[in-house]
Every structure is written in structure tokens, then in C-alpha cells.
Structure 1
């Protein structure tokens, strides 16, 4: 029996790679994005439905998901839509901070809530929530971004035990760096003169040389597919060698030691 996945933020990057992979595996894919009129690949494929969805629009979320669940039986929801807000806290405006929280956190919460009754009624379903390495550990200039990703991780862990009684699974995929145009397309920055040296040092992680060493987005999409299909009662999937190394360091050395090591890197 054909399964269906609903994906947010499917216009590019991991969302699009996952849509293509699930479609190639015979799934029906409901690929959502803010500007579907610009999409020229997914909408040509069999068993792919492209729909408009802005995860900051609560009304549109409810209307879209109501319409979808009236027509289709959805098996997996991939909460992928999001972007990076990078900069020292002093460099960020209240508007930037609010928009980051509204997209990366409230978008996940609202989409999840809108689908929960559908999953509960059929006593099965899965939420795959995309976080980040920086949803497991903090890093300078990522304070607000990490706040949203840590929050999604905690939200997911709590919800997993809340929904298990209905046969619903909640899983987290935490990628490290990926070879995408995320740093250009999906990143907003803030600048402050007092943090110029720190920002320059952190920015090395977004250099072309560094990006080339990161995971291919298609490989991370395979981990998403595995999470959806492996039948395991596993909560977190750490994706990418850099993410695995950092996560293992945190587990083995402890969070306090890792925090101290990061502080030492940026003590000028």
C-alpha cells in the first residue's frame, strides 16, 4: 500500500532532496513551500503534489492541513521548513528574533498540532522534525537559532511520550553541515562592531573549502528516509560526520567540558 509523506520547506535543500528520494521509493509526496509557482521539478513528477504553505501563517497551516487530511491519508510529516539567523545577540533586532522563533519553532508546533488528530484517529503516524547540530550544543553567533532548535528537540522528546499511547512516533534528525546553498538562501545575519573578530572566526565555517567537507544533502535525505522506514523506536538521528563527532564529544566528555572547550576557542 502506497504511503504518503507531507514535507514543509520542500523548495530546496534537504526538503527537496527528501521529496525526490521518497518519490523515487514509490511514496506519494505532498511537497509544500512558500512559492510553488517557482517550482519546476517536483511538479512534473508522478505522485508529487505541490502546495503553497508559509509556516508562519497559522490560518494557512490549518486550512491546508484540513484540506489535505480530508483527501489523503498521511503517514509521515517532515517538519523541515526553517532558516538560520546568525549573529551576536546584540546585533539582532527584535523583529529578526521574533521571525526566527515564528518560523523555526512555532511553524513546527503548529503543523504538528494540526496533524495530530489525523494520526490519533488512525492510531499511527510519524513526525520527523529537522533540527541541527546546534539543537544539541551551543555555538557563538547561533544563540537564537540554537534556541529554536533546542526547543524543537525538547518539544519532540516531550511529544514522543505524549503520543506513544496512540501509536504515533516522533523522531528528530539533527544534521551537521550540508553542501547546500543554505548559507546564501536560508541564512540571515546581524553585524555588530564589538563582535567583528568573533564573527570573522565563526565565518570560516561557511567558507567554500569548509562547505566542501560537509555531507551531501542527498546523504542526509537517506537518513531521513531510514528514520521513516526502519521500524526502530529511536528518537534522534545524528546526520553527518561532523555532527556525529560533536555529539559523541558531548556524550563522552559531558556538556560542561564541551562548553568550556568552545569558550576557549573564542577567548581573544
Structure 2
């Protein structure tokens, strides 16, 4: 029987590349996005269908499983990929900006996962894959909100795997390094507050450096291949680092004293 994956945030970047790859490999793909009416290319694939889904709207989350079942009978894998980065000096952020970062990157994942757990339990099997980040295991300046949202996702996912293993539901995480997507374009929200001073040099160095790193990074296809591996390797493996330098930086974070690793981060900041 043909398997089906539901992907959130499929309009661009990692979600879009993953939708195309799984469709090419013969899976049914439920590609969800906030504005499916604006999508044209993905509509050309017979085994890929578009659905409207805003992960911050409960009514969307509650109805998506039945909508996909009407087209594809069942769902085998949930890929929680929707997300964005809210960056800048934390002092510049507003309460609403903080809440929105967590609504999308954390609470949306949690709420959609809550809908899928009983569904997969009734099926007797299933898989949940969450898009985290290498900065879910270390931090960089100006990314306090984004990093903390991914740290929260790491903790949630790691704990959830223990709870759901007894139901034959596997839980996994994809941890991309810098990937050449529009993350530093439309998916990046930079705090604007001219009344807060003192961060100008840091913002110039860090944000311009991250944009340059993003331009030289691997494309989203490398992450899509990692999602394919996670969905099909038959293992209980939890974490899948992906992209240039992902494994190396996480290994360095693991073996180096924290003070040494922090010096590496500060060196990058002061370039």
C-alpha cells in the first residue's frame, strides 16, 4: 500500500523540497501551507495534494486529518516542518513577537502532534518527524528566541519518543545547519525598536555573517534526503543532523568544555 506523508510549511524551502522528493519516490504527499491558492508547481503532481493549514489556528489542526483521509485513505508520517526565525537583540522584542515565535515553532507542533497521537494509536503505528536545528543544542547571539524555541522542541521531541514507543509510534528530529533557503528572507523577522541602543555592531556582524553563510550553504534538497532516510531506515534513531558542518559543530559542542565552545561563538561574533 502506498504510504502518505503530511508536511507542514510546504510552500518553500525544506518543506517544499521534501514534498517534491517524496512525491517523486512514489509516496502520497499532503502538502500543507497557509496559502495553497498561490501554489502552482506542486499542483502538477497527481500523488501530491495541497491543503490549507496555519499551525496557529486550532480549527485547521482539528480538521486536517479527515481532509487528507478523504483523498489518501490514511497518513503514515507527520512531518512538522513549519517555522520561522525571530531574531535580534532580545531587549528589542515585544511580548507578542515572543509569543508568536513559540506559537509557530513550538505550540503549533505540539497541538498538531496532539491530534495525531490518537490517530496513530488507532492505526497501531505511525511516525512523527520534527524540524529542529543545530541551534536546538547550542546558541548564538541575537537568536535567543529562535534558539529557545528549538531547545523547547528538542526537549519535547526527546521526551515524546519514550512515551510513544510502546504504541509503535516512532518520533524523530531533523537538525539542519545553515541551509540555502529563504530563512534569511521572508522566513526571518528582525526586531525593530530604534529606541533600544547598543547592539548596532553586533547586529551588523552577526546578521550579515549569517546571510553570507546561508548563501554558501547546501540547498534544502539535502535536508529532504535526510527526512527520507529518517522515514525509511526502520530505526528508532532520534536525531538526524544535516547540512554542511552540522555533525562537526554538534560533535564539538559535545566534547569541548563549555568555555571553549563559547569562545568559538564569540570569535565568530567579533569577525
| 1:201-259 deviation per Cα after TM superposition (whole angstroms, max 9, x unaligned) | 10232334x33321111111101111110112210000112222210101121445323
Counterpart in 1 of 2:7? 7
Matched, 1:203 2:204: no
Deviations 1:63-119 (A, max 9, x none): 222433466211100000000011010011111111111000011001111011111
- How many Å separate the matches in 2 of 1:265 and 1:225? 33
2:234 maps to 231
Task: Tell me what 2:262 maps to.
Answer: 259
What's the counterpart of residue 216 of structure 1?
Answer: 219
Q: Is the Cα–Cα contact under 8 Å of residues 132 and 174 in structure 1 kept in the other structure?
A: yes
Q: Which TM-score applies when normalising by structure 2? A: 0.93
Where 2:54 maps in the other structure, the secondary structure is coil
SS at match of 2:199: helix
C-alpha change, 1:267 and 1:214, in structure 2 (3 Å) is: closer
Q: Does the aligned pair in 2 maintain the 1:4–1:74 contact within 8 Å? A: yes
Distance 1:228 1:258 in 2: 32
Distance between the aligned counterparts of 1:224 and 1:254, measured in 2?
31
Does structure 1 residue 178 correspond to structure 2 residue 179? yes
Matched residue SS, 2:127: strand
SS at match of 1:238: strand
- Counterpart CA distance in 2 for 1:56 and 1:14 is 19
Q: 1:152 to 1:219 in 2, by over 3 A?
A: same
SS in 1 for 2:181: coil
- For 1:243, the equivalent position in structure 2 comes to 246
Q: Once the 2 structures are TM-superposed, how far is the Cα of residue 261 of structure 1 from its aligned partner? A: 3.4
Counterpart Cα distance in 1 of 2:106 and 2:204: 28
Q: How big is the shift at 1:134?
A: 1.1
Q: Show the 5 A alignment for 1:143-154.
A: 143-154=144-155
Q: Give the secondary-structure state (helix, strand or coil) at the position aligned to 2:245.
A: helix
C-alpha contact 2:19 2:31 (8 A) present in aligned 1: yes
Residues of 2 paired with 1:265 and 1:50: CA distance?
41
Determine the C-alpha separation between the residues in 1 that align with 2:59 and 2:119. 18
1:30-76 CA-to-partner distances (Å, cap 9, x unmatched) read 00000000000111211111000000101211122243346621110
Question: Tell me, which stretches of 5 or more residues in structure 1 are unaligned?
Answer: none
- Name the SS of the counterpart of 2:198 in structure 1: helix
Output the CA distance in 2 between the equivalents of 1:152 and 1:69: 27
**Aligned in 2, Cα 1:164/1:255: closer, same or farther, shift over 3 Å?**
farther
Contact preservation (8 Å) 2:105, 2:149: yes
Contact in 2 for aligned 1:125/1:168 (Cα 8 Å): yes
Q: Is 1:88 aligned to 2:89, yes or no?
A: yes
Equivalent pair of 1:214/1:242 in contact (CA under 8 Å): no
Separation (CA, whole Å) in 2 of partners of 1:129 and 1:254: 28
Aligned length: 267
Structure 2 unmatched runs, 5+: none
Confirm or deny: 8 A CA contact 2:85 2:189 kept in the other structure. yes
